[in-house]
Structure 1
Amino acid sequence: MDFSCDSARDLPAMEITAALERLARLFLRLAPRGELSLTAVSVLSLLDRSGPRRLTDLATGEGVTQPAMTQLVSRLQEAGLAERAGDPEDGRVVLVHVTDAGRAALAERRAARAALLSGLLSQLAEAELDGLVAALPAIDSLTSLMPDERPATVRSS
């Protein structure tokens, strides 16, 4: 694969990539230490945002094997954070749902991160904070462009 930068849009893409990598690292460091892995949080968030999903769809979306996803969903189910139920449209299909306890765990995790982030944001200049707030619509638009399922391969154009 060729990942070279050839166009004028590639330079901002490289700078944005580097900034987002640093932001992702910061975000990971803000994660409260607990029982939920990043994959578990990602799955619960997807279920909360998009509704019930098949195990195979969850595995594909997270880039893990179906057996690994089955184990994760079993652990989430044992913890009361997710449940399996039949698909009302196709009795042969089992869908995974987030429970109220799963939603509460996500909310608690987000609140803990927000509290830590708030402390960091308070150290920024007002113009920097305003810039971050102004970027939120663009970040939302960017993240909505990527489907919930990961592509099998990434191709450069």
Structure 2
Amino acid sequence: MSANSLDAALPDLDTEAVAEALYSLLSNLLRRQPREISMTATSTLATLRHGGPRRITALAAAQKVTQPSMTVLIGSLERDGLVSRKQDPDDGRAMLIELTEQGYEFVARRRGEYAQRVGEYMSKLPPERQVEIAAAVPALRLLDDVISQA
């Protein structure tokens, strides 16, 4: 099937409606998430969990904050025992930030609580809608990868 015939086979996609639904869903879920730490701190921990140790400059760029702001945030996470610093093996003058065991446990606990909460919300939907949402997971993961690489 050529790209043109594939395009013709696809229904008209209302990307604005999809974007609004995703935005509304994520906003609702995030508002209901307990706030032990800031969203930037949570996102930084997730970045370290998925991407491994990073320099502060890379973390600041990933979170779209200034390097001084990230330095303050890392200091706080370090005092809380969630991250530690280690020397960069590629550049002895630089430091890498990595999750500690306590940091991994914190992220895993939060993800587990989040999954449980989402499961509770989903259980209030009709079974066929639950199946539809589960079927969309591969496409949502792919969209997440595309956004992450942008």
TM-score of the aligned structures, taking structure 1 as reference length? 0.83
Q: Which residue of 2 aligns with 1:137?
A: 138
Deviation at 1:29, TM superposition (A): 2.5
Q: Which residue of 1 aligns with 2:93?
A: 92
Deviation at 1:133, TM superposition (A): 0.4
Deviation at 1:56, TM superposition (A): 0.6
CA contact (8 A) 1:31 1:109 kept: no
Q: Compared with structure 1, are the counterparts of its residues 27 and 81 closer, same or farther at alpha carbon in structure 2 (3 Å cutoff)?
A: same
Structure 1: segments with no counterpart, 5+ residues: 1-7, 152-157
Percent identity of equivalent pairs: 37
Aligned residues: 141
Structure 2: segments with no counterpart, 5+ residues: 1-9
Q: Which has the higher contact order (CA 8 A, sep 6+)?
A: 1
Higher Cα Rg, which structure:
2
TM-score of the aligned structures, taking structure 2 as reference length? 0.87
Which shows bigger deviation, 9-18 or 91-100?
9-18
> What's the RMSD between the two structures over aligned residues?
1.8
Q: Which amino acid aligns with 2:141?
A: D
Q: Which residue of 2 aligns with 1:63?
A: 64
Residue 41 of structure 1 pairs with residue 42 of structure 2: yes
CA contact (8 A) 1:52 1:97 kept: yes
Q: Which ranges of 4 or more aligned residues in structure 1 deviate by more than 4 Å?
A: 8-11
CA contact (8 A) 1:30 1:117 kept: no
Q: Which residue of 1 aligns with 2:122?
A: 121
Per-residue displacement from partner, 1:33-69 (whole Å, max 9, x unpaired)? Answer: 32x1111110011101110111111111111111100
Q: Which amino acid aligns with 2:26?
A: A
Deviation at 1:30, TM superposition (A): 3.1
Q: 1-side partners of 2:112 and 2:99: how far apart?
A: 18
